[in-house]
Amino acid sequence: MGQREVWRLMSRFNAFKRTNTILHHLRMSKHTDAAEDVLLEKKGCAGVITLNRPKLLNTLTFNMIRQIYSQLKKWEQDPETFLIIIKGAGGKAFCAGGDIRVISEAEKAKQNIAPVFFRVEYMLNNAIGSCQKPYVALIHGITMGGGVGLSVHGQFRVATEKCLFAMPETAIGLFPDVGGGYFLPRLQGKLGYFLALTGFRLKGRDVYRAGIATHFVDSEKLAMLEEDLLALKSPSKENIASVLENYHTESKIDRDKSFMLEEHMDKINSCFSANTVEEIIENLKQDGSSFALEQLKVINKMSPTSLKITLRQLMEGSSKTLQEVLTMEYRLSQACMRGHDFHEGVRAVLIDKDQSPKWKPADLKEVTDEDLNNHFKSLGSHDLKF
């Protein structure tokens, strides 16, 4: 055997080892038994998905995403499954997002897991959006990032007074992904742009009033609602909607309170209607109200690169299909993995928790159009395809 053949064999062996390392890393959870991280059960007329990492706010691992995707596809084809319910264990969170700390640590260790993780996660988001069976997400507790992707694209989203919604990605050098570029620009006025750029948190009935949830139910009635859904016999979409509507109508908590952002919507619509982040900042300065100045303070802490990516993502996403948005977001996710700010944001918020990220570049004017265009560039044969 010649030297060239030896090198070729060694190269293949090393590639094989790298692939196995990545797959092993993705399949394993260092916190809990991965097999129990998500429960997939057939109950009555429904397939029930329970996110089961309560101590970690039901954050999503690759293994969980893969299992949910596979089971969702099976239930969709099963004539005995009439609806799909997804919920979180523990009462504190529906799902606080993807396990991004693991992704960042793996990337820094040269274990390139991000392409696989984001590809399968976005495929799941699309599968939920195109699911042929009624899909009911019980968004009780913290619902952020990847948790929003598991719920907002489904037909029915039921919030309780404990629901806490946010897309806080600009604070960690990312962007509101999992289809954020699709649903956020379709909210009333410029509300979605405001939520995306500031990471503003909505609570309880306001998640419904914002148009993110389709129904609101008092949390003490949530178990009863689930029982009533499971007890339905061969239900149609209309039967399911009727049950949800009855519970929604009977809910009492904060029924008479107005939307918390109602008084600020004119400001949000005028300030966030600009085509550049710089103009939005100038609008907030010109407005000068305490609300506007508070949002200005928040935006100034965010990653400048993330802010510019996010605004363009929403502007382009407003006229794209969900699949087109997810393809765009996959390109953005891979560009962010190659950059500085995502890893720095994860360090500052989740690892060292000093809340003092050092963004590069640190100023909006240093984020050039060329930088931005590179984030949105096609990945060719590596693009996400459905």
Residue 58: partners with Cβ closer than 8 Å, 6 or more residues away: 51, 52, 88, 89, 90, 93, 94, 95, 96, 147
Mark whether 169 is an active-site residue: yes
- Tell which residue, 135, 162, 164, has the closest CA to residue 148: 164
Which entry of 97, 141, 145, 146 is annotated as an active-site residue? 146
* Alpha-carbon distance values, 357 to 101, 287, 310, 348, 364 (Å): 15, 28, 18, 5, 15
- Tell which residue, 366, 347, 365, 370, has the closest CA to residue 357: 347
Torsional sign, CA 220, 199, 167, 57: negative
Which entry of 98, 147, 149, 181 is annotated as an active-site residue? 98
Is-contact 85 223, C-beta < 8 A?
no
What one-character DSSP code corresponds to residue 185? G
- For residue 172 the two structure tokens come to 């960690």
Is-contact 139 157, C-beta < 8 A?
yes
- For residue 167 the two structure tokens come to 């897309």
Residue 62: partners with Cβ closer than 8 Å, 6 or more residues away: 26, 27, 113, 116, 117, 120
Unique residue bearing structure tokens 């360090």? 347
Mark whether 370 is an active-site residue: no
C-alpha span between 204 and 183 (Å, rounded): 19
Is-contact 49 39, C-beta < 8 A?
yes
Mark whether 192 is an active-site residue: no
Q: Which helix (H) or strand (E) holds 93?
A: strand 93-95
* Alpha-carbon distance values, 124 to 22, 60, 66, 131, 178 (Å): 20, 12, 8, 10, 9
Compute, in degrees rounded to 10, the torsion defined by CA atoms 170, 176, 181, 186. -90
Residue 337: partners with Cβ closer than 8 Å, 6 or more residues away: 103, 107, 114
Which entry of 121, 161, 177, 206 is annotated as an active-site residue? 177
Which entry of 37, 121, 169, 344 is annotated as an active-site residue? 169
- Per the DSSP assignment, residues forming a β-bridge with 57 are none
Catalytic residue annotation: 98, 146, 169, 177
